[in-house]
Structure formats: structure tokens, C-alpha cells
Structure 1
Amino acid sequence: MKKHTKLVWLPMAVFPLFMGACNDDDMMGPATSETTITIENVLDPKPLVQSGTFENMGTAPVVMPGESLSFQFYAAKGQAVSFATMYGLSNDLFFAPENPGIALYTDEGLPIEGDVSEHMKLWDNGTRINQMPGPDASHPGVAESVPKGVMEVDGMDAQGNDYANASALMQVTLAYEGNSMFTLTIKNTSGGTSNETPFSPGVWAISYIAGDDLLNPAPIYESGKPAENGLTALAEMGDNSTLGAYLASNTGIFTPLSPVLVVVYDGMENPIYKTGENDRGEGLKALAQMGDASGLAAHLKSMDGVKEVYVLPAANTTVLLPKIGGQPGSKVSQSLKVAKGDRLAIATMYGFSNDWFFAFKDNGVDATQKGDVSEHIGLFDNGTAVDQFPGAGVTQANLAGTPLAESKPIEEVPNPNAFNTLPAIPEIIRITLN
């Protein structure tokens, strides 16, 4: 997987900010020692934010001429939907939009609605010799002596059989349901044409986008390359199970973490937040929505009991990226001066969210302990922005959006949540003290 660093963080260049230090009074206080905190993004990410299968829910799973089916998904600007379904009365042809799929927003960020059939194409899987399409075509038919790459069928296949444009056989429409949700409807319009055919059960997928790049712009097929991952079973027999399982295995979580706020304090309460209370207006909102910890850090410096404050960006990328291309995820470290009774708090944004942040639960952790303290981390909803599907929300700041304001108490994010199921938190962020 290609490494992506073009993420829209505010600010984009945040340098370690040492705010607060020992004063002369500390000389009379408890003896201090040094410890090092290390925060790592240990997420094993997936390239697809969503995927699924579809079939007709009538008496048969195929979509006959005149019938239609729909499925729903979430998407942000720059993302596209790709899907595939077999041309049923063929040997190994399938319908799919050209990669990376059907765009879902205009350049101005407006959702695209209505008929998008013009983006549909007919493809030859390249594994069977094509017979004249129709009810007499055998299944799966005669195998190609040497499988070919997937190729577009533009009016005529390699054996000289004629085909109408895909847009004349299949009508595809988009409807925007609000809050980044779309409904895509496929209607079989092949009835009465020379290419009348049912459509098989199919698959669909949405890729994550980081900066300007989709993590997987070709999740189902690649033009000119041999079919793989179960596409052949779909194209030859209309069996979507293997390809659907493959897409599901590549669907899950991808998120960077914002520069990490680290606070050493000797008070009785976590100085950053408290569940059940609304955001205090002290800078946590900017951290949770934009990944910008500078305002909160400046406020914490003025608080009684706060001894040290740091903002730790990752080298080169500022944000802490997950594991990419076999490389370990980003990590940051900071040496801290701590004394008996000191507590430790942290906060970092779940980058592909509207206003979620990771933090130690309750009153932080004992700053003098050693070892892995990741079990004490929770994921919290700041309650200042309307939530959308993580990594597919059009108002998420790091997907070029503007968060929609709301005012709710800070609460821990349930798992599963309203959109997906997250890995265990120690599988996303690891924090150690040494």
C-alpha cells in the first residue's frame, strides 16, 4: 500500500510545545524522576471503508428485465462507488463502472443524484470463449486456453458478438439521503433489446481516501489484468460469495492520529475533559474536530496543578500514520519529569471522524508507573459535531469538510457504534511508560 501523507490537519506543522516547567517551589516538593512516554499508531489498516454484496430479494436472487434492487452506503468527497454483476446470459461477461467507480460529489462538494448510467461498462472476464449471448449460451462454457486480462466489450466481443451499450441495458441512479448516505438503484432495462439478460447477485465497495488518493482505486478488477479474488466465479456463474468475502476481508479501519497532547498534573481530576459534561470551550473542540491541540495546550499551561504540557507531532508527517506497506506505524516519544502523586493525561484525534478523540479514562494514570498502559485508553465523542461514518463523512474536517455543530455531553464511543465495529483500542493506539 502506498504511503499517504497529504492529510488536512489544522495546524499542519505543530512542533513540540513545552508549556510549564518546574518552578523554584518544586525544589521543596517530592523528589522527581524521569520517565519516557511513547505513543504509537499500531493499527493494521484496511483499504476499504465499506463493502457488501447485493441480490434481488424476490423469488429469485437474479434481477430480471424490468426489476430493480438498491443498496446504501456512506461516502465523502473524492470517494467513488464500484460494483459488479454478471451479464447472466453470457459465458463470462460482467457489468461494472470504469475504475475507480462512479463519482459521488461534484468538484464543489455537492452530492451527485439522478441517472448515472453513462458510467456503466460491459467487461469480458477473459476466462471463457464467448458464445452468442442468450439462453443458449452454455455455463460456464469453453475455457480460454490461456486466460486473458479483463477487457472492455465496446459494442463487440473478441468472437464478433454484438452488444448494446451497457447504459441501454442497465439504469443506475443515485439518491442522496443526507448525512453522507447514498442509495444506489440498479434497474434491468435490457427487456426487449437484442441483449436481454438477467443480472446476477453482485458486490460493491468504497475505498478510503487520504489526501487526494484512494487507497484502493481498483477493488474489484483491473483492466488488462487477469481476474482474481473470486471475480471469475462472479463473471462465469453469478456467484458473488468468494469475491464478497475477499472485499469484506479488506474492509475495516484506517485512520491517522493527530499530534498527541501530553499533560503531567498533580490535581484530582483529568484537566482535559470529563464524561457527562459538555465541552468546556478550552480548546478540546479544535483537537477533536481538527487535530489542533495548540489552543488546549495554551489553556492547560494556566491551570493550577498542571506541571508539564507537550504537543508531539510525528516526524515528517505530523500525524501518526497506521502501519502501511509492511512498515510500522508512526510513534512519538517524550521524556517527562514526574513525582509521586503525579497523574498523566493524553488526547489525540481519531483522524477520520467528526469529533472523536482518544484519552485516558477518568483521572488519567499514575505517571510514575512503568509498562504498557494502553488498556486505560478510551475513545470519546466530544459532542460538538454531528457524527458520520468514520472515513466516509462529507463534513469531516480531514476529508475536506466542515463539521456540523451540535451540543451534547462528552461520552465514550460505544463499540459497535452506529456505523461500524472498531478493533480493540490497544490494536489502534499503544502507550508505554519507561
Structure 2
Amino acid sequence: MQDEMEEPVLKKGSLPDVVPSKMYTVTVENVSTNYKFFEAGAVAVPDGESEAGPAFPGHSFTFSFHAGPAHKLSFATMYGLSNDGFYAPSGQGIALYDNGTPVTGNITSQIMLWDAGTQMNQMPGPDNPHNGADTDDPVQLMSEVGDGYDYGTVATNLKVMLDYNGGHMFTVTIEVLAGATTAVSPVAWVVHSMENPIFEAGMTDWDKGLEDLAETGNPGPLSHYLTWNSGYVSPVAPVLWAVHEKDEMPIFTANTPDRGEGLELLAETGNPGDLAASLISMDYNAGAYAIPDGSNAAGPLFPGDKYTFSVDAKPNQYLSIASMLGNSNDIFFAFGDGGIKLAFGNDIEDITHEVMLWDAGTEVNEYPGTKSMDEDEGGLVRLLDDGFTYPAVDKIIKVTIHKNKK
């Protein structure tokens, strides 16, 4: 008689109650270019003309630009019948807002005649040979040079008007008055927050193009330098993170209003604290990280800075993050509303392509970099689509992840 079959024996033993978690390290880096200035350009064609050239008495140059409350305007235009004289405001520039209100009107009183210090002065006027000896003197007010020549006054030669067009756009008109003693050259201009973007009084020329403008009226080299160093710069705010299950949307749901759990504060101020507390209270594995690598204090990421932090997660869980685009009204970085699956190995993997710019829909957007108001929007959380132009995500931020070796 055949023996009864024995009960099979399990070889793998009992399963643990909790699947061991894995620790992942995430790095968020601000990779944006640290531009010196905000906007810059040149205008070479006088109003009403079709070709580049100087503006003679009775003619003018006009240019427009964007600016926020922290910005100032500087420009330079050659006193055409001189060796190296130029009109410009002081190194501090012209303030464009007064307690948040755009400045408009006649700003001629803020314009001065300067000597670039690069060429010996000769008698100004139509007979000026423009062949003075090269010099290496400091930039100074023409009135302090003491060359004994008559250049007229700014008020009798120019009228400079500042207009506000709305939407953070301004227009400047530089009019050469009918009785002026000179024409003026094409204009190089820059919007800035730092002082002395074009020159510094008492210092020699920096060889960035001012000499060309002041001696020949050519704004090209100076404008190229200013434009090359101008652009949108934004800090990246502290990072909110949450580990969650598939199909969960812990931070937001696309195309629906903000839930009132802290995203508005994060997207408008950069503070992730309320949202982190809300998620933790709902039993999410969540938190926030705010200390740049190499620093002992919390703060945003400026160009070149990075956050490095770790999170625990079980196999097949998902990760969501959120971080404000600092120089905005309510724009934030995040993956899709469902996050990304944590299925990464020990090698560092660049996941920046998973990051998108989102609009929290809580505050009306303004021209990038010019934030000056807090106007409630009452909109939806959505992919950024406000009609303005922003740098690509990978030009601002880089996000990498890897699983730590056990």
C-alpha cells in the first residue's frame, strides 16, 4: 500500500509583518545663471527715422522695458560734439517705483553730463577733431573736470520723460531740445538692482563698452555686455516632500482649487511648514528641507546652491515634492499631482525631466521678476500657462535621486 503523501514543507519561512523600507537621497540644486542685471538693450534709430544715427536737436530716442519695485534704470548716451562726454544718471540709477507706485514724469533733473576719462577733451562743437590723446582718468562729472569748455546744461540740452504703460512696462523718451548745443548718440540702457552697472564715479572705465559709446557714439559693445549679463534670476524655496501610495495626490489635484492645507503659503511665500504639518497630521510620511548644503541656517537656494535630504519609502511607493519659484507670485516646482514611483537603484539618476512649473491659482501672476502686488486669483492649480516667458525648468533647477546602499 502506498504511503500517504507527506505535507509539503515551506522552505522560505514566515514573511515579516512590515516590508523593510529603503532610504532614498534626493538632491535639489539651483542651476540658474546668476545674472547681474534684469533687462538691457539699446536704441539706435531716432524716433521718426528709418536708419540708425544720432538724435539732433528737435529729435528724440524712445525705448521701453519691464521693471519691478526693486529695480532701477540706468542709461548712457554720448554728448556727440565732445571727445568722451556722455549723459547718464548717477551710478545708483533712477528709482522706478515710490513705495510701490510707478514713477512717471520729467526725470531730466536726475541726468548728468559725465566725462569717461578715456580721451583728452577738446573744444566741444562741430569743429571738434575728436583726436585728443588717450587718457586713463577716472569717470567724473564734466563739471569737475575743469577743462574750461562750455557744454551747456542738461536742462537746456535734454528733456527726459518716464511713462508707465501698465503691466510693469515703462517707456523713456530722451528729447534733444531745439536749442541744444549737441546731438546725442544712440542709447544703451539697463534695468538693475545693484549699483554702478555702467560705471562708478571716481573709478577708471571698466572696458565694458563705455569708452566706445562715449568716444564714438556706438552703443553696441556696452549694450552687448549689459544684455549678456541680464536675465531672470530666482531663488528656489525650501522643499516639501511626501511619500505616498499609488493614485494618491497629497499636495494638489491638477485643475481643481487649492485645498487650503498649506500649498498657498508655500507657493506665495516659499514656506512649506503649514503644508508639511497638514500632511503629517493626515499620517503621510512627509516633511520639509530648508538648509542649503554647507550652511548651518535655513534659507532658499541661490544659483549654485543645493539641498540634499533623505526619505524612507517601501517598494512601489511614490514621492511628491513642491518648492516655490521664489521670484514669482504663486508658481511652484512639482512632479505631476500623483508624484513619481520610487523604483530607482543605487546609481544617481537625474529626474529633472519629471519636474514641472505649476501655478497654484491663488494669486494673479505678474511679469516674471517684477512681483509687486498680492491680488487674489481664486483660480485652479494648473500647469503654468500665464502667457509670460519663463526659463525652461532645467535651466533653473536640477533634481537627482538614488537609493542608498544598505
Question: Which deviates more from structure 2 when the two are superposed, residues 277-286 or residues 369-378?
Answer: 277-286
Query: Where has structure 1 moved over 6 Å in runs of 4 or more?
Result: none
CA deviations 1:315-342 (Å, max 9, x no partner) are: 445333323xxxxx33222221111121
Summarize the alignment of residues 260-339 of structure 1 with structure 2, pairs less than 5 Å apart. 260-303=239-282, 307-314=284-291, 315-316=295-296, 318-323=298-303, 329-339=304-314
Shift of 1:165: 2.6
CA contact (8 A) 1:38 1:431 kept: yes
1:94 to 51, 72, 86: 86
1:372 is aligned to 350
Supply the distance in 1 between the matched residues of 2:384 and 2:225 (Cα, whole angstroms).
Answer: 28
Shift of 1:293: 1.5
Q: Could you tell me which amino acid in structure 1 is paired with residue 378 of structure 2? A: S
CA contact (8 A) 1:35 1:368 kept: no
Supply the distance in 2 between the matched residues of 1:427 and 1:111 (Cα, whole angstroms).
Answer: 31
Shift of 1:367: 2.2
2:115 is aligned to 124
Summarize the alignment of residues 3-82 of structure 1 with structure 2, pairs less than 5 Å apart. 28-55=17-44, 56-57=46-47, 58-61=49-52, 62-82=54-74
Q: 1:334 to 1:72 in 2, by over 3 A?
A: same
Supply the distance in 1 between the matched residues of 2:284 and 2:378 (Cα, whole angstroms).
Answer: 31
Q: 1:418 to 1:197 in 2, by over 3 A?
A: farther
CA deviations 1:173-219 (Å, max 9, x no partner) are: 22222332222221112x324xx211111111112xxxxxx3x3111
Supply the distance in 2 between the matched residues of 1:187 and 1:116 (Cα, whole angstroms).
Answer: 12
1:425 is aligned to 393
Pairwise CA RMSD? 2.1
Supply the distance in 2 between the matched residues of 1:431 and 1:39 (Cα, whole angstroms).
Answer: 5
Q: 1:167 to 1:275 in 2, by over 3 A?
A: farther
Q: Percent identity?
A: 36
1:408 is aligned to 379
CA contact (8 A) 1:180 1:394 kept: no
Shift of 1:393: 2.5
2:233 to 224, 245, 254: 254
Q: 1:36 to 1:54 in 2, by over 3 A?
A: same
Q: 1:316 to 1:49 in 2, by over 3 A?
A: farther
Supply the distance in 1 between the matched residues of 2:77 and 2:254 (Cα, whole angstroms).
Answer: 47
CA deviations 1:44-90 (Å, max 9, x no partner) are: 31111111111324144322212223222222223210011111111
Shift of 1:419: 4.3
Q: Could you tell me which amino acid in structure 1 is paired with residue 195 of structure 2? A: P
Supply the distance in 1 between the matched residues of 2:201 and 2:223 (Cα, whole angstroms).
Answer: 19
Shift of 1:29: 4.4
CA contact (8 A) 1:126 1:148 kept: yes
Q: Secondary structure of the residue that 1:28 maps to in structure 2?
A: coil
Shift of 1:353: 0.7
Shift of 1:133: 1.3
Whether 1:143 and 2:138 are equivalent positions in the alignment is no
Q: 1:407 to 1:30 in 2, by over 3 A?
A: same
Shift of 1:430: 1.8
Whether 1:174 and 2:162 are equivalent positions in the alignment is yes
2:336 to 361, 372, 381: 361
Supply the distance in 1 between the matched residues of 2:313 and 2:201 (Cα, whole angstroms).
Answer: 59
Aligned residue pairs: how many?
A: 377
TM-score (norm 1): 0.81
Q: Could you tell me which amino acid in structure 1 is paired with residue 40 of structure 2? A: S
CA contact (8 A) 2:251 2:337 kept: no
* Stretches of structure 1 lacking an aligned partner (at least 5 in a row): 1-26, 208-213, 324-328, 396-402
1:345 is aligned to 320
TM-score (norm 2): 0.86
Q: Secondary structure of the residue that 1:48 maps to in structure 2?
A: coil
Supply the distance in 2 between the matched residues of 1:186 and 1:420 (Cα, whole angstroms).
Answer: 29
CA contact (8 A) 2:157 2:179 kept: no
* Stretches of structure 2 lacking an aligned partner (at least 5 in a row): 1-15
